[in-house]
Amino acid sequence: MMVLTACSGEQQQQALPQPSPQPVMGISYPVWAADGYDRPENAVHVAQIADIGANWISLTITWYQDELGSSCPAPGPQTVSLEGIERVAALARSAGLEVAIKPMVDLPDDTYRGEIEPDDVEQWFDCYATLMGEVAQVGDRSGAGMIIVGTELISLERHEQNWRALIAQLRDEFAGTLTYSANYTDLDTIGFWDDLDFIGVSAYWPLADRPTDDVDLLVAGWQPHVQALEAMARSWDREILLTEVGYRSVHGAVVAPWDWQSDLEADQAEQAAAFEATRAAWSGSQHFAGLLVWAWDDLSDAGDDQATDYTPRAKVAELVIYNWFSDTLSG
């Protein structure tokens, strides 16, 4: 594992927190209701995530804005409570899991967050910095190890100095590691990786042009992306963290891993093969910090032979992930 203390390019060298010597073998545990982290079943789900062999859990908080041009994201009716995050973080820490907190900004009509273009950029970042400051305080109190400072905000990524100011603020408020979750389509547009500890990516690249559970074919589909990310890692002197990587249990999951809406035939074998291929594709990398599997949600659908959502719980993919995590962390 690389020690992340050097900066890339002409940026001034700065001392950054050193990531854990172990890879991040984690599971995302998102909820979509205000009381989602306040429910008693969280204890069961956290235990399941620990049992799959994970060493990290990623908790989400989603803020909302009414329109793409709105200039102040804010909590909405479905935003989880900060107290709920603290409670689940405590459960996770008791189960031996490190905690990451991952904020997102969404729109009520499911328009993609990457298209957000606020009318007043400075006001937007002021509002966002206030919200992130609250997350940093929760992270500090709960002993979280990582905060993901933003998720797939493609149209806002060009405002580099605003991001640098936000990251500097969070460094003052939070002692853990920081990354940003860039969409897989827009990694090259981001110029502030040197202020962060990892290059983070929502890794939803298509792995094939047709449905398949052929692992070798899917590994080949990964190769150009692994090579490009390793080149980025060398350029920026930062390891790669797959902040989201997930596949639905559907026939065609590998063709459009990002597609969470299409009505497709259930196919657990294809989901499992995609995770097998992801493991194999990254197995020889010297720049791989780990991954956060998307996601341990859609819980009522888990274990059903006709299940079509992202969760690997009680599916063939669960054993694939268990073996990957266990082999990596016991080695």
Buried b (16+ CB within 10 A) or exposed e, 43-61: eebbebbbebbbbbbbbbb
Q: What is the CATH number of the domain that holds 323?
A: 3.20.20.80
Cβ–Cβ < 8 Å for 317, 271:
yes
In this structure, the number of other CB atoms found within 10 A of the CB of residue 105 comes to 21
For residue 2, being part of any structural domain is answered with no
Are 148 and 100 a contacting pair, CB within 8 Å? yes
Strand, coil or helix: what is 72? coil
What does the alpha-carbon distance between residue 8 and residue 31 come to, in Å, rounded to a whole number?
A: 36
Put residue 284 in one of left, alpha, beta given phi > 0 → left and psi -120 to 50 → alpha: alpha
Mean pLDDT split into 10-residue runs, the chain, 331 residues: 35 48 95 94 96 98 98 97 98 98 96 97 99 98 98 98 99 98 95 98 99 99 98 98 98 98 96 99 96 85 76 96 97 68
251 domain-assigned: yes
Question: At 262, is the secondary structure helix, strand, or coil?
Answer: coil
- For residue 252, give its domain range: 24-330
Residue 177's DSSP bridge partners are: 146
Strands 239-245, 98-106: parallel, antiparallel or unpaired by DSSP? unpaired
Task: Tell me, yes or no, whether 51 lies in a domain.
Answer: yes
**DSSP strand E in the chain: where?**
24-29, 56-64, 98-106, 146-151, 177-183, 198-202, 239-245, 288-293
Q: Is residue 1 part of a domain?
A: no
Domain presence at residue 58: yes
The confidence score (pLDDT) of residue 12 equals 38
Residue 1, pLDDT score: 37
CB 155 within 8 A of CB 116: yes
How far is it, in rounded angstroms, from Cα 180 to Cα 150?
5
Single-letter amino acid code for the residue at 113: R
Q: Which pLDDT value is given to residue 297?
A: 80
Please list the residues that pair with 67 across neighbouring strands: none
Structure tokens at 188: 């090259």
Other C-beta atoms lying within 10 Å of the C-beta of residue 17: 15
Residues 159, 172: Cα–Cα separation, whole Å:
21
Looking at residue 209, the DSSP 8-state letter turns out to be S
Number of domains in the chain: 1
18 domain-assigned: no
Cα of 140 vs its chain's centroid, Å: 19
**pLDDT score recorded for residue 16:** 55
Cα gap 225→209, rounded to integer Å: 15
Model pLDDT, residue 21 = 75
- How far apart are the C-alpha atoms of 302 and 315, rounded to whole Å? 7
Q: Which of 97, 104, 193, 110 is nearest to 152 (CA)?
A: 104
Asked if residue 15 belongs to a domain, the reply is no
| Measured distance CA(17)–CA(4) in Å, rounded | 8
Backbone angles phi, psi at 100, to 5 degrees: -110, 145
Count of residues in the chain: 331
- Asked whether residue 14 is assigned to any structural domain, the reply reads no
Q: How far apart are CA 143 and CA 282, in angstroms?
A: 29
Coil vs helix vs strand at 177: strand
Rounded CA-CA distance 220/224 in Å is: 8
